[in-house]
């Protein structure tokens, strides 16, 4: 991948080369192979390159022959060869073999409509000097990041938020509403950022800037439309196998060494299987373990590696690895509570020692109903059909003190309590790091008044309206693809892989696979309470039984045991430190009570404790140390 940065000043004020270089070079880890800059009057574009395709000819910023249109690009366009042939038939000639030049030519021919033709992972900025116009765009699912910061006199953009801190006039004030959203979800949902002055460009959106004014528009939306034809499961399995194999083959195009993440789950194992059908060369695979604890998937990864004769690498993550958290917080740019960032960082690090590109199985759960929330939503619907007095008694009993110490019953009580809410509120609660009432206890009196009565996520309300006529599996799919996937999963993978200058590609999120997923009937995704039914059927034909028969485990870190064992002192040292409390966000008494409840086993707060720690570390890195 790469790192891009730029500035366009209104009123003709000259772009400052030194500041642009500083913005660009904060992202040196994203592009260690090449560096470029283009400054023309009030416009400046900067680029750090990780060379993947056309290593010799893909230097950026890249301009057209006339020097009137310039592009900086982060990502890969998988169908660039087909687009190139189409453009060549129209008489357009090319000077390089790069996909970036295809973006440039596609924009010149089709304008913003070029986005409808691009199949890939991308974030780019195009300066059109003739029309005095800046065009920013982000891929359909937000696989690659893009931030922007409008000011009265300019528009800044970059692949990473920290680049804006190099601009002296950038407003560094923290947004209290974003902090509250962080403690609600464990991440800050787009378009917000931790800073008031900056925004994330939403996935499947573009921004057009012209002479100080700009607008943001959506260009694509995932729209489930189940095929009503009476097709059998075998027909769907064959089609899915063909498109997934095609997506893998397309995404294996590279001029540098390539491998795959392998967790031992269905999704990554299917990717490795399809890779084995595409190449005769040994596949290099990489996995992370947790020292043999209950969350360790390395035995399953070993089964797949042996089955397909891969060159396999493993690495264990232990509690001591939290020492790297300040570094990872710097790479993340914002507070982030998904602890799987730790194994993602380490698997990326060991992968980069061998290859420059890795394929992953991300996206399979979201597209094909792989989460427990899909089962929970089905259970909720059945619960809602019960008489009101039965529902009331069940919720009261399962959320009472009698079952508080029984985790499975407590989770069931949470499902039933959640079932009585509207769909959008149910989804929010399932995804929450902490509920409104819990945050009210954590917050200082002053900060509690500042944020008011709870998070206000416009996107969730919009999604609830857009999906109002969909069945519950289709609704969850849309919510996941537009909310959870880009804000959590894809953010984590991008930031942690690019910390080691590793490009990660996601074949399940190829547009051809998404097209099939949009048409597959929900009953073939969740059959009874069996998740990912169609993927399991495919896996049963091509993977060992130990893999396709097992339940979902997830890329989880054993936080509950870590914060009751080896990391008790670490958590206390961070959260009860005078610096933490003096910031004015949190109450010391609430933090101490939270730690006691967790350490004694009264309640499980591992995820929230981790989120509180990364929030404090973010303040130390970006507030106390200025982002250094």
Residue 522, pLDDT above cutoff 90: yes
Active site residue 2: yes
Q: What is the mean pLDDT of the chain?
A: 92
> What's the whole-number mean pLDDT along residues 530-554?
89
Beta carbons of 335 and 598 less than 8 angstroms apart: no
Angle, CA 276 vertex, CA 245 and CA 353 arms, to 5°: 110
- Reference 219, options 204, 203, 202, 231; nearest CA is 204
The DSSP call for residue 443 is B
Q: How far is CA 87 from CA 16, 96, 115, in A?
A: 36, 14, 15
Strand partners for 154: 9
Beta carbons of 3 and 24 less than 8 angstroms apart: yes
Two structure tokens written together for 493:
């993978």
What is the distance of C-alpha 516 from the center of its chain?
22
d(CA 117, CA 355): 29
Residue 593, pLDDT above cutoff 90: yes
d(CA 202, CA 139): 9
User: Could you count the other beta carbons within 10 Å of the beta carbon of residue 298?
Assistant: 21
Residue 445, pLDDT above cutoff 90: yes
More confident residue, 397 or 23: 23
Residue 404, pLDDT above cutoff 90: no
Residue 271, pLDDT above cutoff 90: yes
- Kindly list the strands in the beta sheet with 62-63, ordered across the sheet, starting from the edge strand earlier in the chain: 62-63, 69-77, 120-128, 133-138, 205-210, 213-218
Q: What is the pLDDT of residues 93-131, one digit of tens each?
A: 999 999 999 999 999 999 999 999 999 999 999 999 999
Pairing of strands 357-359, 503-505: parallel
Beta carbons of 513 and 247 less than 8 angstroms apart: yes
- How crowded is the C-beta side of 326, counted as CA atoms within 13 Å? 12
**Largest Cα–Cα distance in the chain?**
76
pLDDT band at 455; cut points 50, 70, 90: low
Two structure tokens written together for 353:
């020692």
Two structure tokens written together for 18:
């030194």
- Reference 620, options 271, 327, 353; nearest CA is 327
Q: What is the pLDDT of residues 189-206, one digit of tens each?
A: 999 999 999 999 999 999
Residue 162, pLDDT above cutoff 90: yes
Task: Report the run of H or E that residue 121 belongs to, with start and end.
Answer: strand 120-128
The CA dihedral of 481, 484, 485, 491, to the nearest 10 degrees, is 150
The DSSP call for residue 30 is G
- How much is the pLDDT for 493? 97
Please state the three-class secondary structure of 447-509 as a single string: HHHHHCCCCCCHHHHHHHHHCCCCCHHHHHHHHHHHHHHHHHHHHHHHHHHHCCCCEEECHHH
- How much is the pLDDT for 186? 95
pTM as predicted? 0.95
- How much is the pLDDT for 400? 78
- How much is the pLDDT for 112? 97
Residue 165, pLDDT above cutoff 70: yes
- How much is the pLDDT for 456? 66
User: In this prediction, what percent of the chain has a pLDDT beyond 70?
Assistant: 97
What is the secondary structure of 558-574 as a DSSP string? -HHHHTTTTTHHHHHHH
> What's the whole-number mean pLDDT along residues 352-368?
97
Two structure tokens written together for 363:
């996206």
Catalytic residue, candidates 2, 190, 192, 244:
2
pLDDT band at 552; cut points 50, 70, 90: low
What is the secondary structure of 5-17 as a DSSP string? EEEEEGGGPPP-H
- Kindly list the strands in the beta sheet with 34-40, ordered across the sheet, starting from the edge strand earlier in the chain: 34-40, 43-49, 2-9, 154-158, 147-150, 199-200
Residue 143, pLDDT above cutoff 70: yes
- How much is the pLDDT for 425? 85
SS3 483: helix
Residue 46, pLDDT above cutoff 90: yes
d(CA 272, CA 283): 8
pLDDT band at 396; cut points 50, 70, 90: confident
138-152, 281-295, 386-400, range with greatest mean pLDDT: 138-152
Q: Which of 113-127, 276-290, 319-333, 460-474 has the lowest mean pLDDT?
A: 460-474
> What's the whole-number mean pLDDT along residues 516-531?
96
> What's the whole-number mean pLDDT along residues 302-330?
92
Residue where the block lists tokens 């002296």? 168
> What's the whole-number mean pLDDT along residues 224-243?
91
The DSSP call for residue 280 is S
Residue 595, pLDDT above cutoff 60: yes
SS3 444: coil
- How much is the pLDDT for 242? 98
d(CA 115, CA 106): 9
Q: In 305-430, at which residue ranges do the beta strands (DSSP E only) sit? A: 311-316, 357-359
Q: Which of 62-71, 359-368, 548-557, 575-584 has the lowest mean pLDDT?
A: 548-557
User: In this prediction, what percent of the chain has a pLDDT beyond 90?
Assistant: 75
**Domains of the chain (ranges, CATH numbers):** 2-218 (3.60.20.10), 223-310+338-368+433-554 (3.40.50.620), 557-628 (no CATH)
- How much is the pLDDT for 553? 61
């Amino acid at each position: 991948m790469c790192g891009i940065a730029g500035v366009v000043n209104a009123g003709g004020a000259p772009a400052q080369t030194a500041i642009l270089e500083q913005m660009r070079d904060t992202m040196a880890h994203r592009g260690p192979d090449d560096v470029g800059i283009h400054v023309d009057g009030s416009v400046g574009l900067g680029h750090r390159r990780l060379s993947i395709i056309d290593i010799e000819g893909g230097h950026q910023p890249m301009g057209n022959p006339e020097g009137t249109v310039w592009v900086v690009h982060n990502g890969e366009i998988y169908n660039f060869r087909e687009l190139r042939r189409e453009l060549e038939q129209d008489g357009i000639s090319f000077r390089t073999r790069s996909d970036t030049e295809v973006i440039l030519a596609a924009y010149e021919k089709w304008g913003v409509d070029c986005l409808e033709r691009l199949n890939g992972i991308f974030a780019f900025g195009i300066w059109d000097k003739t029309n005095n116009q800046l065009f920013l765009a982000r891929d359909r699912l937000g696989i690659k990041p893009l931030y922007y910061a409008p000011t009265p006199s300019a528009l800044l953009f970059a692949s990473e938020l920290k680049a804006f801190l190099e601009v002296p006039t950038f407003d560094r004030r923290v947004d209290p509403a974003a902090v509250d959203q962080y403690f609600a979800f464990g991440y800050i949902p787009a378009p917000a950022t931790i800073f008031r002055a900056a925004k994330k460009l939403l996935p499947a959106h573009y921004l057009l800037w012209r002479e100080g004014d700009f607008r943001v528009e959506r260009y694509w939306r995932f729209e489930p439309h189940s095929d009503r034809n009476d097709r059998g499961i075998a027909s769907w399995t064959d089609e899915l196998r063909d498109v997934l194999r095609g997506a893998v083959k397309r995404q294996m195009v590279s001029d540098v060494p390539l491998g795959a993440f392998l967790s031992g789950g269905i999704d990554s194992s299917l990717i490795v299987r399809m890779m084995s059908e595409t190449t005769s060369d040994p596949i290099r695979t990489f996995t992370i373990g947790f020292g043999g604890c209950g969350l360790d998937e390395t035995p399953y990864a070993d089964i797949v590696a042996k089955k397909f004769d891969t060159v396999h690498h493993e690495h264990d993550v232990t509690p001591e690895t939290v020492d790297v958290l300040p570094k990872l917080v710097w790479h993340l740019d914002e507070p982030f509570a998904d602890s799987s960032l730790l194994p993602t960082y380490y698997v990326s690090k060991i992968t980069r020692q061998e290859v420059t590109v890795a394929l992953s199985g991300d996206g399979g759960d979201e597209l094909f109903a792989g989460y427990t929330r899909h089962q929970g939503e089905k259970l909720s619907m059945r619960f809602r059909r019960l008489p009101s007095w039965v529902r009331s008694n069940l919720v009261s009993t399962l959320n009472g003190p009698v079952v508080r110490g029984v985790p499975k019953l407590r989770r069931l009580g949470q499902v039933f309590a959640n079932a009585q809410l509207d769909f959008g509120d149910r989804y929010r609660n399932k995804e929450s790091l902490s509920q409104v009432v819990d945050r009210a206890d954590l917050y200082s009196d002053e900060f509690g008044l500042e944020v008011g009565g709870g998070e206000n996520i416009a996107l969730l309300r919009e999604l609830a309206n857009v999906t109002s006529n969909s069945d519950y599996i289709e609704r969850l799919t849309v919510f996941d693809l537009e909310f959870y996937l880009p804000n959590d999963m894809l953010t984590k993978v991008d930031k942690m892989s690019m910390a080691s200058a590793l490009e990660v590609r996601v074949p399940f999120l190829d547009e051809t696979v998404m097209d099939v997923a949009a048409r597959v009937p929900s009953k073939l995704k969740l059959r009874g309470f069996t998740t990912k039914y169609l993927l399991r059927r495919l896996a049963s034909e091509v993977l060992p039984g130990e893999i396709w028969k097992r339940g979902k485990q997830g890329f989880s870190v054993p936080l509950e045991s870590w914060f009751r064992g080896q990391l008790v002192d670490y958590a206390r040292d961070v959260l009860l430190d005078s610096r933490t409390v003096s910031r004015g966000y949190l109450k010391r008494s609430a933090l101490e009570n939270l730690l006691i409840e967790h350490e004694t086993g009264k309640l499980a707060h591992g995820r929230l404790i981790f989120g509180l720690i990364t929030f404090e570390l973010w303040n130390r890195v970006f507030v106390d140390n200025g982002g250094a």
